[in-house]
Structure 1
Amino acid sequence: MKRSDFTYHLPPELIAQHPLAERSASRLLCLDGASGELAHRQFPDLLAQLRPDDLLVFNNTRVIPARLWGQKETGGRLEILIERLTGIDTALAHIRSSKSPKPGSRILLSTEPGGEPGPFSLEVTERVGALFALKAPEGEPLSEILQVIGHMPLPPYIERPDDAEDQGRYQTVFAEREGAVAAPTAGLHFSDELLAAIEARGVRRAFVTLHVAAGTFQPVREENIEDHPMHAEYLEVSAETCEAVAETRRRGGRVVAVGTTAVRSLETASQASGEPQPYCGDTDIFIYPGYRFRAVDAMVTNFHLSESTLLMLVSAFVGRECILAAYREAIAERYRFFSYGDAMFITAGPESGRLS
């Protein structure tokens, strides 16, 4: 398929720049993948879409304050976006500067763009493709440095600096495992109160950990989408979660993935046997139309960028024309798009393989 097959026009004013006052105040567009039928709801109405035997699978990754500013020892200003933590005091990062820093050089960190250097610094140890390997001084955990001077890594389509509100709102209420540089945004809609109501309905929950990397925003540049080099992200799927999926199948319930990261996690863990098996390591799974889903029966997801790998994933689940028609309806009804925007609840279409 072609990249241009997944193009749609979005009025810029529909890109949500701030979260709503309440997490669950978002709208919810429900899409029946089998029929293509749409229904306009509010996010708490998700409760009515779920059945007592269903299993909700969440990504419990925690976003780190991964954006930093600083300067070279020679004075040149630069911006750092951590891609992933690789150790207690090491990381791989994107660096934006007029000239790339050289291995062995030191970066003096500041709290704000253009600010004076403070007490923290990082050493550039090597170049790794488009990324730079960074190391904190011995005895200084990098995660602690980030907590002091790092900024929340808001997506590029949010055209404002991060603020105090983002510290909590660009994080799910169940975030636990530190390591993501972008939020699993479908989970942002769940409040503690809604989770309690879902549990009271008899819906079970399980967790995976996929540390979302900055590559999630990487555009598809190849016209033939099969030629797109998919980025890798660290993933853990536990034996406990695999057993929860198996038990759900035995009860006749549905596996409902909260977010495309949970979808990619469960599908990665199911590659070998057709059912989720414990998994620990990187995943670069790329799901696009023609893919047959092994684990996921329904999903909660936000709206995704035109021509993105995530739009291709949801197209694989219900069909390209079906999802693009839903997006046209959402635009006509003035839904809010992307990370701080509204959500969809999607059940599998015939293209997914789950209805066969």
Structure 2
Amino acid sequence: MRTSDFDFVFPSSLLAHQPTQERDESKLMIIHRNNQKIEHKLFKELHLYFEEGDTLILNNTKVFPARLFGKKEKTEAKIEVFLLRELDSKDNTWDVLVDPARKVRVGNKLNFGNGLTGEVIDNTTSRGRILQLHFDGNHEELIKKIKKLGKTPLPKYINRLPEKNDEERYQTVYAKKEGSVAAPTAGLHFSKHLLKILEIKGINLVEITLHLGLGSFLPVEVEDISKHKMDSEKCFIKKNTCHIVTHTIQQKKRVCAVGTSSMRAIESSVSSKKYLNPFSGWTNKFIFPPYNFSIANSMITNFHMPKSTLLMMTSAFAGYELLMKAYKIAIQEKYRFYSYGDAMLIL
């Protein structure tokens, strides 16, 4: 398939700039692959589609306050720095994006305030730089300083500064392992109350960790999607999670990947018998049609941007024609798109 096959137009008014008042009050579209039926529900009704013994796989990554605002030494020009990943904790070097990039060159020094400074030591892409941070303290104190100065890294389409509620709402209620620069957005819809209902029904809630970078959210820029290269992301799957998921598969119950990140993680570590293996490492797995999924037989995901890898993965799971039909209906029914938007459950 071609990248242009995943292009579509929708009103910008459907981009969700704010979360719903309550997490589980977002809309939920139910897509039945077996009979092509589409239902319209609220996310708090999710539990109606799962039974005792089913398993939901949650990504427990936690968003790092990755957005820093500094000034160039001498000129005082304002520079935004997005911390993508730490490269070396010994010399405090980070892979970052800078904006405006034209003003940031190798050798430039940036001041973030409160004793935190940085020096650009290399270029990586048009906007990418290697930044060495300087702070009068140890590495643990440096991380604390970054967290104090850093802002919640909301997606660029949300054209506003982070607000107080973003610190909470741009995290899942089960976020534990810090390391993402973007939220696993399908999980944002779960409230503690809904999780408790699922637990009471006897539904297994297991966790994996996949730390999201920005690569998954960027549009594919090559027409032949097989030539697209995904950025690597760090992933951890524990033995106990694998045991529960394997038992669920053997019992022919429902295994649901909550989000594209959970799906990518579990599909990155599959045994020859089509069971889930423990994993600790990096994955750059890119899932697009056609693709045979090994672990999950259901999936929860948000409504994604045109030509994105997330849309391609969802299409591979739902079926291209059915998913495009669902997106057309979503636009007609005014579903909200992207990170703070509504969700779909694919069965």
TM over 0.5: yes
Answering whether residue 296 of structure 2 is matched by residue 296 of structure 1, we say: yes
CA RMSD of aligned residues (A): 1.7
1:271, distance to aligned residue in structure 2 (A): 6.5
Structure 2 residue matching 1:98: 3-state secondary structure: helix
1:218, distance to aligned residue in structure 2 (A): 1.6
Q: 2:95 aligns with which of 87, 92, 97?
A: 92
Match of 2:246 in 1: 246
1:215, distance to aligned residue in structure 2 (A): 1.5
Match of 2:61 in 1: 61
Match of 2:116 in 1: 120
8 Å Cα contact 2:217/2:310 also seen in 1: no
1:140, distance to aligned residue in structure 2 (A): 4.2
Structure 1 residue matching 2:293: 3-state secondary structure: coil
Q: 2:111 aligns with which of 108, 111, 116?
A: 108
Match of 2:131 in 1: 134
Structure 1 residue matching 2:110: 3-state secondary structure: strand
8 Å Cα contact 1:72/1:101 also seen in 2: no
Q: Which amino acid aligns with 2:118?
A: L
Distance in 2 of aligned mates of 1:78 and 1:272: 49
Following TM superposition, the consecutive aligned residue runs of length 4 or more in structure 1 with deviations greater than 6 angstroms are none
Q: Which amino acid aligns with 1:252?
A: K
8 Å Cα contact 1:85/1:179 also seen in 2: no
Show the 5 A alignment for 1:1-356. Answer: 1-75=1-75, 76-88=77-89, 89-96=92-99, 97-102=101-106, 105-109=108-112, 117-128=113-124, 131-137=128-134, 139-141=138-140, 142-270=142-270, 274-347=274-347
1:238, distance to aligned residue in structure 2 (A): 1.2
Structure 1 residue matching 2:165: 3-state secondary structure: helix
Match of 1:350 in 2: none
Structure 2 residue matching 1:221: 3-state secondary structure: coil
Distance in 2 of aligned mates of 1:174 and 1:87: 28
Q: Quote the sequence identity (%).
A: 38
Structure 1 residue matching 2:229: 3-state secondary structure: coil
1:273, distance to aligned residue in structure 2 (A): 5.6
1:127, distance to aligned residue in structure 2 (A): 3.6
Q: 1:121-170: per-residue Cα shift (whole Å, max 9, x none)?
A: 12334444563333333514343122211111111221221111100000
1:226, distance to aligned residue in structure 2 (A): 1.1
Distance in 1 of aligned mates of 2:155 and 2:268: 25
Structure 2 residue matching 1:132: 3-state secondary structure: strand
Query: Normalising by the residue count of structure 1, what TM-score does the alignment of the two structures yield?
Result: 0.91
Q: 1:225-277: per-residue Cα shift (whole Å, max 9, x none)?
A: 11112111111111121111111122221210110000000001117663211
Note the residue ranges of structure 1 that are not aligned, 5 or more in a row: 110-116, 348-356
Distance in 2 of aligned mates of 1:90 and 1:299: 37
1:8, distance to aligned residue in structure 2 (A): 1.6
Match of 1:351 in 2: none
Q: Which amino acid aligns with 1:199?
A: E
8 Å Cα contact 1:256/1:299 also seen in 2: yes
8 Å Cα contact 2:24/2:191 also seen in 1: yes
8 Å Cα contact 2:30/2:345 also seen in 1: yes
- In structure 2, the CA distance between the partners of 1:281 and 1:129, relative to structure 1 (3 Å rule), is farther
Structure 2 residue matching 1:322: 3-state secondary structure: helix
Distance in 1 of aligned mates of 2:122 and 2:322: 46
Aligned length: 339
8 Å Cα contact 1:64/1:146 also seen in 2: no
1:309, distance to aligned residue in structure 2 (A): 0.6
Q: Which amino acid aligns with 2:190?
A: F
Structure 1 residue matching 2:241: 3-state secondary structure: helix
Match of 1:354 in 2: none
Shifted more, 85-94 versus 257-266: the winner is 85-94
Distance in 1 of aligned mates of 2:286 and 2:258: 18
